């Protein structure tokens, strides 16, 4: 029960890792607030985890991010942990990537993370909360990725943003870290491929290319986030934790 009496807000709650995060934090006693794009799935995971708040507001708009953070605080009286898990992926190389996809990925993967983190930090500073922010980046942030220029670039920006925010907030007792998952058993790895690929073929590709010879279960990514969000990592800030079966090694 590491998060008993802690208020935790999770974005991307309707996705595979987001749903696992909600269950993991609820299991450890947290008061949960969820933000997700898919209304039905977000409402369902809110019911399953007993979340006190859920929203489908578009987080690429700064005014919506302020409203979400303010609403959660006004409802619960605190905001101890923010997990910026929402993200999107488009496939394309430098020539094939159109302007609209490039800009959309920056909106979702970078701007929303900045807006929500900024509002959460303002609130934590104002109310003297020694809070915690975990950004869900990607191992694509740590090395080049053929055919994924927009995705890798935006996730690289998240890692650098994490370092800068951590230094800005260290004197406030606010810790900020990033997790960089590799291939995880959710819908997103399927979207990396330009041609349709079966789940069986994807798993076989992972066995051949990942040192641990398997794809990650979402719960394995969640455990790393729970660690960084808890007092178990009380002396850790500004770091990037790879959870990719050894791929970036």
CATH of residue 65: 3.40.50.720
Report yes or no on 83 lying in a domain: yes
Res 9 pLDDT > 60: yes
Determine the length of the chain. 249
Report yes or no on 67 lying in a domain: yes
**Measured in Å, how far apart are the chain's first and last C-alpha atoms?**
33
Task: List helix spans (H) across 50-175.
Answer: 62-76, 99-106, 112-126, 149-169
Quick: pLDDT tens for 125-151: 999 999 999 999 999 999 888 899 999
Quick: pLDDT tens for 159-218: 999 999 999 999 999 999 999 999 888 865 555 444 556 767 777 777 788 898 888 899
Res 41 pLDDT > 90: yes
User: Is residue 235 annotated as part of the catalytic site, yes or no?
Assistant: no
What is the span of the domain harbouring residue 153?
Answer: 7-185+217-243
pLDDT for res 60? 98
Please tell me which residue in 53, 115, 151, 235 is annotated as part of the active site: 151
Res 8 pLDDT > 90: yes
pLDDT for res 145? 85
Report yes or no on 40 lying in a domain: yes
Res 42 pLDDT > 50: yes
């Amino acid at each position: 029960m590491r998060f008993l009496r802690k208020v935790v807000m999770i974005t991307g709650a309707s996705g595979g890792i987001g749903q696992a995060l909600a269950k993991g934090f609820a299991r450890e006693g947290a008061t949960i607030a969820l933000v997700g794009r898919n209304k039905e799935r977000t409402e369902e995971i809110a019911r399953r985890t007993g979340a006190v708040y859920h929203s489908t507001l578009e987080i690429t708009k700064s005014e919506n991010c302020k409203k979400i953070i303010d609403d959660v605080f006004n409802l619960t009286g605190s905001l101890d942990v923010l997990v910026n898990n929402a993200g999107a992926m488009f496939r394309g190389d430098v020539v094939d990537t159109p302007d609209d996809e490039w800009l959309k990925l920056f909106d979702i993967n970078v701007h929303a993370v900045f807006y929500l983190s900024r509002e959460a930090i303002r609130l934590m500073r104002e109310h003297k909360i020694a809070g915690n922010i975990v950004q869900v980046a990607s191992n694509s942030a740590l090395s080049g990725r053929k055919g994924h220029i927009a995705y890798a670039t935006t996730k690289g920006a998240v890692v650098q943003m994490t370092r800068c925010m951590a230094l800005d907030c260290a004197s406030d007792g606010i810790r900020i870290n990033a997790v960089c998952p590799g291939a995880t058993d959710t819908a997103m790895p399927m979207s990396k491929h330009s041609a349709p690929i079966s789940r069986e073929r994807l798993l076989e590709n992972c066995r051949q290319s990942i040192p641990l010879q398997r794809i990650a279960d979402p719960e394995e990514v969640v455990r790393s986030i729970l660690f960084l969000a808890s007092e178990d990592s009380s002396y850790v800030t500004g770091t990037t934790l790879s959870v990719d079966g050894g791929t970036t090694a």
